[in-house]
Amino acid sequence: MNQKNDFVVIKAIEDGVNVIGLTRGSDTRFHHSEKLDRGEVMIAQFTEHTSAIKIRGKALIQTSIGELESESRK
């Protein structure tokens, strides 16, 4: 699987969903954050800078290996 072509689709089901990119390398930092409101869609790729993506809030997530839903924060 080519990591540079791999991407995820995130659709916010509620307001204020956060999509956070984590750095590739020895230390894993948050280098980028994006807020999605209800209905907004983000298509994010894994890149040379981003090796992980964290999603906070209720969202529908589609990846090459399947679909899942994240849950609301309390």
Partner 1 sequence: MSVIISTDDLEHSCPNCKGQKYIIANDQNEPCPKCEGKGVVLTALGQTLLHFIKKHI
Task: Look at the alpha carbons of 56, 62, 64, 65 in this order and tell me if their dihedral is positive or negative.
Answer: positive
Minimum gap (Å) between residue 56 Cβ and partner 1: 6
Output 13 or 42, the one with its CB closest to partner 1: 42
Output 38 or 56, the one with its CB closest to partner 1: 56
Output 29 or 74, the one with its CB closest to partner 1: 29
Minimum gap (Å) between residue 28 Cβ and partner 1: 8
Could you please report the per-residue DSSP string of the chain? --GGG-EEEEEESSTTEEEEEEE-SSS--EEEEEEE-TT-EEEEE--SSEEEEEEESSEEEEETTEEEEE----
Place of tokens 């948050």: 30
Residues in the site for partner 1, rule: CB under 8 A?
Answer: 18, 20, 27-35, 54, 56
Minimum gap (Å) between residue 58 Cβ and partner 1: 15
